Structure 1
Amino acid sequence: MTVLKGIIPPIITPMNEDESINEPELRRQVNRLIEAGVHGLFPFGTNGEGYILTEKEKERVLSIVIQETDGRVPVYAGSGCIGTKDTIRMCRMAESLGADVLSVITPWFAKASDEELYEHYCAVAKAVKIPVVLYNIPARTGNSLSPALVERLSEVDNIAGAKDSSGSFDNMLQYLERTRGKDFTVLSGNDSLIYWNLLAGGGGGIAGCANVYPGTMTAIYERFMQGDLEGAREAQDSIRSFRDCFKYGNPNTIVKTAVAMLGYPVGKCRAPFDRISPEGLEAIRRVIDENREAGME
């Protein structure tokens, strides 16, 4: 079974001016991130605009990422849908293409009880053979995976871990406490908490900022594993100025805009999530210039 660990970027989906997928640039981003030392790739996550891609586009993006990765790092496929039946279909599609891990976000829009979520994830895990990672991001979905529910789900065959994007360190700590001693990995979905996740016994993070600074983000994990806690903390702290730019708009849009400013033709996010104020654009440029001078990459 794939070991869940390290820094896994939710790789952005490059687009042309007409919002079609820029396939050559997607391949370039795959190689750029792997060459920087990332430990996995996560197509059509939140930063990959999975919420706005069609199923055919998701299948094409995943095929390209798997082909270009060529086994160098595990590929995590974001395959959650609102309904259980649709989620199983997407998970089986990803598995058939050669994905290594499935990231299954909670259903959204309609409120689900813990028992409904439990049955949903059990059905998904039973339908596939590759590991399933629970994805908790209640601010976006309206449904939350409670620590008690994660503990129950950690006992289910094929459910191998959880990504917590709640933004609550205490919530992530409870995931870790309730699953300690089990073959279950907790990953931070908040880039600011990766170092603290590792200190508490977690496996690393699925980090949107790794699209912008893959070397710096990878250094958090690598330095930590080498016992260089001060160096890992320095790498963690160094992304603060860029994270502060998130106040200017949708974080996905900020990340994609920053990658474009670094010189990669990744295009904009799909409308209507494609606008940043002039003030925001200037702030991002200033931070990128400052971080470039500081040697961040």
Structure 2
Amino acid sequence: MADSSKEELLQLIKRFGAYLTVKMSNLFSSISSQNLNTRSIGAIAGFAVAIVFTWRLFRTPAPPPRRQPKRQAPGSSSSGVSSPPNSTLTSTGGVSSSENTRVQNVVDEFFQPVKPTLGQIVRQKLSEGRKVTCRLLGVILEESTPEELQKQVTVKYSVLEVLLEITKYCDLYLMERVPDDETENKVLAALEDAGVFTSGGLVKDKVLFCSTENGRTSFVRQLEPDWHIDTNPEIIFQLSRFIKYQLHISPTRSERASSNVFSSPSLEQFFG
């Protein structure tokens, strides 16, 4: 009976080893084809925990074998029923299959891809950039022209979470062309009411205003950001030689002006 249990445990270990070999082959092939990122590190950590868990599972002593009732002599009792001789083997086989499935489920669970947080996506998408400049119209605000701002200023609440994450890792500057000081004050009030300045990463002094489109271009060149975000394709084109990366926000997919220019319908969609 003991030899049978050892043989079953050995077969379970062999099956687990073969299964684990396939998983590790897929993991290390993906790591070798790209830089070691957060998902790869998480997978390796999960693999280590799975090994420890499995080791503890295997070293747990098996429960003592169930003692079979003595077979009564024929005729000693008319009501006695003897157990079939292969009942214990069937039960043992069922336990072995259950243990094998449990180990496989544990490994599968640890090798599930870890969903990155929004903060991790922001850092990855921005390529660890430390300074970002961004226009307001069409990106942070619903309005698309300076003249519309004279009537009302509407903040896109769907973009606020992304802005918060950007300000955690980057020095963010917002900028826009406005027709007068009154419109400038309206924009600042709307941003403040939306809670843009409550996170501590963005202050009013980092919201810049100008009277011409060339003024915004000058702001960007003076600040020398790692990323600039804009809706004007002409400004994107002019700055492509000077700025490391740019994001063109456009409702329609446009042709890339340069290899360092990316395009997205909105800022929040660019970060998934």
After TM superposition, is the score higher than 0.5? no
Q: More relative contact order in 1 or in 2 (CA 8 Å, sep 6+)? A: 1
Greater gyration radius: 2
Q: TM-score, normalised by structure 2?
A: 0.30
Q: TM-score, normalised by structure 1?
A: 0.28
